[in-house]
Chain A
Amino acid sequence: MSVMSRIALLGRAGLDTISALGRSGVFLFNALLGRTRFGNSFTLLLKQLYAVGVLSLAIIIVSGLFIGMVLALQGYNILVGYGSEQAVGQMVALTLLRELGPVVTALLFAGRAGSALTAEIGLMKATEQLSSMEMIGVDPLKYVIAPRLWAGFISMPLLSMIFCVVGIWGGALVAVDWLGVYSGSYWSNMQNSVEFFDDVLNGVVKAVVFAFVVTWIAVFQGYDCEPTSEGISRATTRTVVYASLSVLGLDFILTALMF
């Protein structure tokens, strides 16, 4: 009996996972392809761009600066042993553009904006705002969900590019101004080795993919959560955990495909 019920539990967990995947796919499809009047949805998108993008700027800039500075410091300490400390600019730029820029931005974005999205939508569901909208004939997918999805898709790649620029500038601050690497070789080594299409644009493609995944997970977890205070807290935790894990996993796959 106990063995049978354990197998049944396993089956139920599998079915739950698959049906959640299916629901999230249908949810995304409906939210993105639903038509709305342009003027109205633009104002909604604007508010979400402010909440999701502009308010995340501070944490992105500060962490980009420090990560760039640490990269330059570590790279300098290693490279100076080989007498090639002028390659530190190239190392900082490639590390940030290819990996750390998109990945760290996505992780911070999941923590800063994704959790907020989940909690906000979850609370709307728990206080029955979503069902009231349906009652008065407003589709919550179009009014609440779609602007948040688009805001995430648009703002995260922008944040990732800002992160890279600030990080490289922070690296220059440490390497050139503090450690005394010649600034001409810092920048020219970087320009010689960084390819616009191979490095910069692939980084942007990564950021777009991560933006899609993180925002999708955050919004769906909020929309699909159990409408209780405990359910909201669980959904918020799930957003951060699932989004971080899928970003790291996807990063490996994308890197294997791109470079």
Chain B
Amino acid sequence: MRTRNLELVVGVFILVGLLALVVLAVRISGLAPGSAVNTYSVHAYFDNVAGLTAKAKVTMSGVTIGRVTAIEFDKTRYSARVDMAVDSDVNTLPADSTASILTAGLLGEKYVGISVGGDDEVLADGSEIYDTQSALVLEELIGRFLLNTVSKDE
């Protein structure tokens, strides 16, 4: 009977430890099994991604509809190729939708925002979003502002 209690307690301990690993995987690192199945991938070319990272959100009207899966530099087009996985529920995006890189707050994380177009054709798996808007780089903005004030003075 004592050995049985001991076995029970040790079994519970090991179960709790393994459960902790599952929590770390699913809740903390967001590793959801099978989530890759019900998405479709689209890609877009940006002149400047400036701080966008893989796993960043893809949103529409502020609601998350997908994730950025990969970002790489395309050496033939001299621009950044961003691969995105969009939930397959959202299968009515017009083919001429616009993808822009936005910032949450002044210094917050970067994410991709998609604004709806007017085409009858819809984006399918593997298609490209042609209409893109690059990230706003604060230094360029300040530089342009300074240039404006200088030219006004002259």
Contacts and interface: CB of A to CB of B under 8 A. Distances in A.
Interface of A: 43, 46-47, 49-50, 53-54, 57, 82-84, 86, 93, 97, 154-155, 157-159, 161-162, 164-165, 168, 187, 189-196, 199-200, 204
Interface residues of B, number: 28
Given A43-B3, A162-B17, A191-B30, A196 B25 contact: yes
Among all A-B residue pairs, the 7 with the closest Cβ atoms = A158-B17, A191-B30, A161-B20, A196-B29, A194-B29, A196-B31, A165-B20
11 contacts: A49-B14, A82-B107, A84-B105, A158-B14, A161-B17, A161-B21, A162-B17, A192-B55, A195-B29, A196-B24, A204-B21
Most chain B CB neighbours (cut-off 10 Å) among A82, A187, A191, A204: A191
B146 interface: no
A230 B14 CA distance: 36
B108 to A, nearest CB: 6
Nearest to A154: B14
Contacts of B27: 187, 191
Q: Is the interface of B mostly helix, strand, loop or mixed?
A: helix
B12 to A, nearest CB: 8
B147 interface: no
A54 B23 CA distance: 20
B24 A165 contact: yes
A49 B8 CA distance: 12
A97 B13 contact: no
Nearest to A193: B55
A154 B17 CA distance: 10
Interface string B34-55: 0000000000000000000001
B56 interface: yes
A189 B55 CA distance: 10
A168 B28 contact: yes
B124 to A, nearest CB: 27
B13 A57 contact: yes
Given A46-B3, A158-B20, 15 more contacts: A46-B10, A50-B10, A53-B13, A157-B17, A161-B20, A162-B17, A162-B20, A164-B28, A165-B24, A191-B29, A192-B30, A192-B55, A194-B28, A195-B29, A196-B24
Interface in B68-100: none
A200 B107 CA distance: 27
Contact of A84 (B16, B21, B28, B108): B108
B109 interface: yes
Contacts of A50: 6, 9-10, 13
